[in-house]
Structure 1
Amino acid sequence: MARGKKGNKQPGPVRKWFFRLVKTGLVVGLLGIIALVVAVTVIRSSIPGYEDLKSSPNGQMIRVLDVSGKELFSMGPSYGQWLEYDAIPDVMVDAMVAVEDRRFRSHLGVDPIGIARSLQVRLQRGHFAQGGSTITQQLARNIFLNNNRTFGRKGREILIALAMESKFSKEQILSLYLNKVYFGGGAYGIDAASRRFFAHSAKDLSLAEAAIIAGLVKAPSRYSPTADAQAAIDRAGVVLTVMQDAGAITAAQAAETNPTAVKLAPEPRQNSVRYFTDWALPQLDLLIDETVEPIEVWTTLDLGMQRAATTAIQKGTPAGAQGALVAMDRDGAVRAMVGGTDYVTSNYNRATQAMRQPGSAWKVFVYMAALEAGYTPDDIVTDEPIKIGNWTPRNSGGRYAGDMSVRSAFAYSKNTVAAAIGNDIGTSTIANMARRFGITTPIDTNPSMVLGTSDVRVLDMTRAFASINAKGISVTPYAINKVVTMKGDVLYQSKFDGSRVLVDPWVAAGITDLMQTAVNAGTGKAAQIGRPVAGKTGTTSSNKDGWFLGFSSGLTTGVWMGRDDAKPVSGLQGGRAPAAAFAAFMKVAVANRKVEQFETELVLPDWQLEPDEDELYGAPEDGIYVDENGMPIETGKGLEYDLEGGQADDGSPQLDQEWIDSVLGRGEKPAAKAPSPNQNRPPVDKPQVPIKQPAAPVSILPRVGDE
């Protein structure tokens, strides 16, 4: 009886809870399956048909036009011929399946093994380092989703993949995938990729070529043959190994296939327009929100000016050096931009990225600050030795001309006068002026900053000169006039804001007066083009950088030349190659524009030009003197002058303030006076008289390397 009772013993609490959990799990699982089936069914009904998906584009097509509507180039997705599954080479299908989804033909759109492996790596490393997506999931993501790595997006991707597997055959899914996936270089689909990289249809792909294309999907930019051919070849070797492991090819086939022997299609010739578009097109992200619909981007570039700029830089830049040019219209529209002598060999944009010392071109800020502080172009300053703290600036060649006007000091690029002005008005005032006019790079306020020791960009300096040309109104460089859809809807239209005044018009007029004199008679004579030009040269110590910046007929142009490693360039000075390149470009660029006169013109004699090289410290460098033909002469011989005399040894007139006054029709030489109402200015403390020169005559011809 006792045994019978024991045999009929009721289940314990643990077993009861176990059976309850199992039953609950089964119910929940069944409900989950039902929910999954319902979700997949709903999604399946919303997915477009196969033919609709074939015709739907990926990515945004962008046509880039110049200011007149001429097409510069097209960018964005490039589609080749649509290939149905039967037309796709087997090697291409086998390569893609082997490297991207080995179990593609056996799963229902999701690979549990791949997902488990991906999660395991995620837990081990703390981030997703190995993908678990099937080809179907990748297709779902490319067509319907984005690349955000979140669990929510992954869940939607799985549901869509399951729905696609239930709606399309494996062959249709592969056909959609191989015709729509991105392979880099703007190419979508295997036919576009084949034509882009191998210059033939995907129907003719070899095993090696198929391996290269299949290897691109993982990282199109990293493994692109046009970006890194060796990386593409190495990746193709990995694909061949995976294909052999998957049984798609034999060991013999893998061994005899040589990706290095694949002949790549030649790269389309790139020209200097790319310097401009590389700078301009990223600005679209700030101007419009449209990222799907095809658009036309009307830029400010003038293709004719761009060709002239390219020619001027390529022909005018000294051997072994680089050059850059920016041309800007009255409202800041960039009409031409050249960032180097050859875009193919170097796409580094020296017009927008390089930072170099401007030399005496910086003096426009010094003299504008001086004009704003009360100086005038006709004030008398003294060109004489000066010491500011421990710094002793000097003129190139150690020559000093005594009393002269502010206009003449600027035209001859007198370093000692610029230093005295900077000491008078304060270098922080000059730095503020440069900041106002758009200099974005760091500016030091040491006394030597007046000679252009702070690095600047060509684009910023050109912008500053364009604002002077605009009579002191702020000018902001821009590259895009308007953006429209292919239907004609305007998404963006540029507008010029002329409300920000940087300096009073009379300050801008005064510095224009000085810059015109620099071109007519000073260091910038090589920039003359047969119509009024205002500009300034710049040459840094040891001829490392040469600049010319100026404007005429509403167009402002900045030119820089030098080596990327900042080593000296023999004979490079702002008044030579850069000024000549400026003139060569501007003669073409403004040929059809109205001649615009400036307020004053002053022509000074050729024989009294002051070299523009910025010698900052110490005694003059050892050098040689040359005659008018460039032949060396002995020191003390050749054309000479004596500032105390009134005539050079060859009988030419002596340049002094009296000569300048006679040219300007002022009559008698004015008495020495303070150059401005500013009572803190050093020249006010003592009479301004010409500095007496050494008894020995001094040659005024430039040394080799001087301007």
Structure 2
Amino acid sequence: MRMKRGGRRAASQQLAQETRSSGKSRRRKSGGGSGGSGEGSRVGRWFKRLAIWGGGAAVLVALMIAVAVGFAARSIPSYYQLKTTQNAQTILVRARDGSEIVELGPSFGEWLSYSEIPTSMKQAMVAVEDRRFFSHYGIDPIRTTGAIIEGFTGRRERVGGTSTITQQLARNVFLNNNRTIDRKLREAVLAMALEWKFSKEQILELYLNKVYFGGGAYGIDSASRNFFSHPGTTLSTAEAAIIAGLVKAPSRYSPTADVDAAVDRARVVLMLMEQQGFITPQQASVDVDAVKLKKSTGQNSVRYFTDWVLPQLDLLLPETFEPIEVWTTIDVGMQRAATASIKSNTPDGAQGALVSLDRDGAILAMVGGTDYVETNYNRATNSMRQPGSAWKLFVFLAALEAGYTPDDRVVDTPVTINGWSPRNSSGRNVGEIDLRTSFAYSINTVAAQLGNEVGFGTVASMARRFGITTPISTYPSMVLGSSEVRLIDMTRAFAAVSARGTSVEPYGVTKVTTAGGEVLYEHEATRASKLVPDYVAAGITDLLQTAVNTGTGKAAQIGRPVAGKTGTTSSNKDGYFVGFSSGITTGVWMGRDDNQRVAGLQGGRAPAQAFAAFMRYAVKDRPVEEFDTDLKLPEWQLEPDDEYFFGDPDDYYFIDEQGNLIEPGRGQQVDENGLPFPVEGEQVPGDDRQPRSDGGGEDSQAASDDFLERATGQQLPPDPQRPPMPRTIRPSDRPNERNREQPPPPN
């Protein structure tokens, strides 16, 4: 038996050896001379090396992160130190004269331990801000990957943000809100260090007691007292959902600012809590509208300005948590006048906004709505609405730059451009009119023809040049203000016109100091650029002044020179007036937040009246300034005087359409040798030439007006016996092309 087993063993070994030999032989045959196996082995070796090097790099990065996290964890204060440390700043805001206008500081309630915080509050915060809070280590790989994908695809479908609760705590306690890669990396390291050093319960407790909920409230107890008038320990599920929804955008979802937005956001939180199994469908259907809110008092319209200007400190200042004083450009008296003008002139059911800039861009007054307590949404800086005919500023700027002047004649006539047929607000056309009058009375058909001639892209480019930052349509209807804009951008554009075509940059902070007087920031004037030539700025100022003196903006008159433009959108949904006087530029908008029509709302009525009410106060201590409307045209656009083109009538040789000369002073014709033809009824002895009947006598003109205009490239001077001819607008006959290359005058 042993021998048999040994024989079988030997046989099997021999079979295996033969099998291996035959396999090698087959592989050699199949490989042939193609080098396939060598190529495959090289690819395999490269993959192997790549895997080794990649694995080594990953290990090295992991070690570096571990070292960074370890050092960060050692530098983080203890849990008890963090509990007693409040990182929020106290900010004192001063007006341009140094007076205090508002003091913003943290409002802290009682510190609530983890066990004292209602379960629904903890669940609501985890559901909406970090659903995998109890399973990650400070950074959520799934959320980070999703954020990267969103960055490439541009999709924004997820409800929550990209930072975990731990990352938010690290940012709130140790960092600022600057959106830089360096800050995000430090935030990630600190988050992992917090997870290393503290338990999940401690992190959530710190977060809920330190996070900012808006209105100066830090922590859930302060938020509960500010919004619901009771301690945070008694929060209901609906109240917890409202508070949890505030973290994403405290000002936008604040229940004291926009109840509807707060309720809608709370419903989203309840839906997420149900989806993640924290509450039942019955609990998720709680009536959020039934929540009783605390009445807010003591706030005023200057908060629209501070809400706009204070977030800019994150970009202007280094990281600091010490108390600071912010010196602003706001004028207390003008702010009060602006508030009163908006409240007293805005139609019932509508909202109003106002922005006023000094000649250097300093914001003198800002009103974002009729009542900050009812709604703190800033319509002066955030709302995007159609400006109506106020947009014609850019249409006529482009036309003036292309070669038009305020005195040029145009025709108000029905027009169709690419299937679009604009109508005038009066419903009729007036025919021949000059450019100045067409602007003053806001003639839509003329604006449409001008926009078509200079190009809608040119008009859009002009708007961009003057500071419009919102998307601009290039459809024909854009000339009537169909593109949505921000009021502050439109005011900035008119301020640039007031500055004679020089760019203006709005700003609100002049300097920032510590409580001890150390200067942390001081405003420096930005380099201004020339946007249009002086003659274009003078021409558009001429048009804007006429619009107030005799046109649609007469309600904006204040007893001194004013230039401005009205704007009214279809169905009276928006009313605009923007203008300037004595170096102050002010823009006013009125309308409804739901974009419904407002009966009787027109730019030349309530907005212009609010402008006038404010500007009477704003300019009362400033000298009267006359506008520079003297058009000093460039050489290519200048029209020489009559004598240059036509000479004195006694010295000028006319040329008829057949090329014959006409004798000076008499209109008598001469032949090719310069000898005059006999006048009709007169025979010269020895001259057998017949008199020419087309000379017509000394008062007749040998050449037609049309011929002379084509020959000279210029319009004829006005003739009291001949009615003025309008300047026709043709897309193929643009003024910049016509005037740039002129034929020389006749000899």
> TM-score category by the smaller chain?
0.5 to 0.7
Match of 1:365 among 391, 394, 407: 394
Deviation at 1:160, TM superposition (A): 5.6
Question: What is the letter of the counterpart of residue 289 of structure 1?
Answer: P
1:458 pairs with 2:487: yes
Q: Are 2:382 and 1:353 equivalent residues in the alignment?
A: yes
Find the counterpart in structure 2 of residue 515 from structure 1.
Answer: 544
Within-5 A mapping of 1:195-594: 196=226, 208=234, 221=247, 266-594=295-623
Q: Which residue of 2 aligns with 1:23?
A: none
Local SS of the residue matching 1:450: helix
CA distance in 2, matches of 1:233, 1:391: 44
Are the counterparts in 2 of residues 145 and 153 from structure 1 also a CA contact under 8 Å? no
Query: In structure 2, what residue type is equivalent to 1:451?
Result: L
* CA drift at 1:279: 2.0
Q: 1:672 aligns with which of 724, 727, 731?
A: 724
Query: d(CA) in 1 for partners of 2:598 and 2:352?
Result: 12
Is contact 1:325–1:558 with CA below 8 Å preserved after alignment?
yes
Residues 472/138 of structure 1: CA separation in 2 closer, same or farther (3 Å cut)? closer
Deviates more, 1:553-562 or 1:348-357: 348-357
1:15-94 aligned within 5 A: 57-79=86-108
451-460 or 143-152: which moved more?
Answer: 143-152
Instruction: Single out whichever of 508-517 and 423-432 deviates more from structure 2.
Output: 423-432
Q: Secondary structure at the match of 1:72?
A: strand
SS of residue paired to 1:396:
coil
1:95 to 116, 139, 158: 116
User: Equivalents in 2 of 1:309, 1:437: separation in Å?
Assistant: 25
One-letter amino acid matched to 1:424: E
Alpha-carbon distance between aligned partners in 1 of 2:321 and 2:403, rounded to the nearest angstrom: 56
User: What corresponds to 2:63 in structure 1?
Assistant: none
Query: Residue 581 of structure 1: CA displacement?
Result: 1.0
- Decide whether the 8 Å contact of 1:381 with 1:683 is kept in 2: no
CA contact (8 A) 1:365 1:434 kept: yes
Q: What secondary structure, in the 3-state scheme, does the structure 2 residue paired with 1:559 have? A: strand
User: In 2, Cα distance between the equivalents of 1:438 and 1:493?
Assistant: 24
- In 2, the alpha carbon distance for the partners of 1:676 and 1:550 equals 30
Q: How far 1:501 sits from its partner (Å)?
A: 0.6
Stretch deviating more after TM superposition (342-351 or 476-485): 342-351
Kindly indicate whether the alpha-carbon contact (under 8 Å) linking 2:138 and 2:188 is maintained by their aligned counterparts in 1.
no
Q: CA deviation at 1:563?
A: 2.3
- Per chain length, whose mean CA-contact separation is higher, i.e. which structure has more relative contact order (CA < 8 Å, sep 6+)? 1
Query: 1:117-160 deviations in whole A, cap 9, x for unaligned?
Result: 746999999999xxxxxxxx999998779999989646644776
- Is contact 2:221–2:233 with CA below 8 Å preserved after alignment? no
One-letter amino acid of the counterpart of residue 615, structure 2: M
Name which of structure 1's ranges 462-471 and 220-229 shifts more when overlaid on structure 2: 220-229
CA shift at 1:183, angstroms?
7.0
Whole-angstrom CA distance in 2 between matches of 1:563 and 1:178:
39
What CA deviation, in whole Å up to 9, does each residue of 1:64-91 have, x standing for no partner? 222222333233433579x9xxxx9xxx
Whether the aligned pair in 2 keeps the contact of 1:674 and 1:684 (CA below 8 Å) is no
1-side partners of 2:353 and 2:546: how far apart?
25
Q: Helix, strand or coil: the match of 1:340? A: coil
The answer to whether the 8 Å contact 1:305/1:588 transfers is: yes
> What amino acid does structure 2 have at the position aligned with 1:467?
A
Please report how far the alpha carbon of residue 391 of structure 1 lies from its aligned counterpart in structure 2 after TM superposition. Answer: 3.2
CA contact (8 A) 2:304 2:366 kept: yes
Does the residue aligned with 1:519 lie in a helix, a strand or coil?
A: helix
Letter in 2 for 1:338: V
Unaligned runs of 5+ in 2: 1-68, 123-131, 146-166, 177-183, 271-287, 631-717, 739-747
State the SS of the aligned residue for 2:426: helix
2:712 paired residue number: none
1:413-470 deviations in whole A, cap 9, x for unaligned?
Answer: 2222222222322222222111111122222223332222222221111111010001
Q: Compute the displacement of 1:93 (Å).
A: 8.7
In the aligned structure 2, how far is the partner of 1:572 from the partner of 1:548? Answer: 12
Shift of 1:234: 14
**Letter matched to residue 349 of structure 1:** N
Q: Secondary structure at the match of 2:510?
A: strand
Q: CA RMSD in A?
A: 5.3
Is the radius of gyration larger for structure 1 or structure 2?
2
CA deviation profile, 1:386-422 (whole Å, cap 9, x unmatched): 3434333333334333333221221122222222222
Q: How does 1:163-174 map to 2 (within 5 A)?
A: none
1:509 offset after TM fit, Å?
1.1
- Distance in 2 of aligned mates of 1:121 and 1:140: 10
Instruction: In structure 1, list runs of 5 or more residues that go unmatched.
Output: 1-38, 102-114, 129-136, 163-172, 237-258, 602-665, 686-707
Moved more, 207-216 or 544-553: 207-216
Return closer, same or farther for 1:63/1:523 CA change in 2, 3 Å cut-off. same
- TM normalised by structure 1 equals 0.61
Q: Quick one: structure 1 residues 142 and 350, their matched pair in 2 at CA, closer, same or farther if it must change by over 3 Å?
A: closer
1:217-265 deviation line (CA, Å, top 9, x unaligned): 98874899868699999999xxxxxxxxxxxxxxxxxxxxxx9999975
Report if the CA contact (8 A) 1:145-1:157 is conserved. no
In structure 2, do the counterparts of structure 1 residues 383 and 669 end up closer, same or farther at CA, with 3 Å as the change threshold? farther
Identity of aligned residues (%): 55
Change (3 A) 1:409 1:63: same
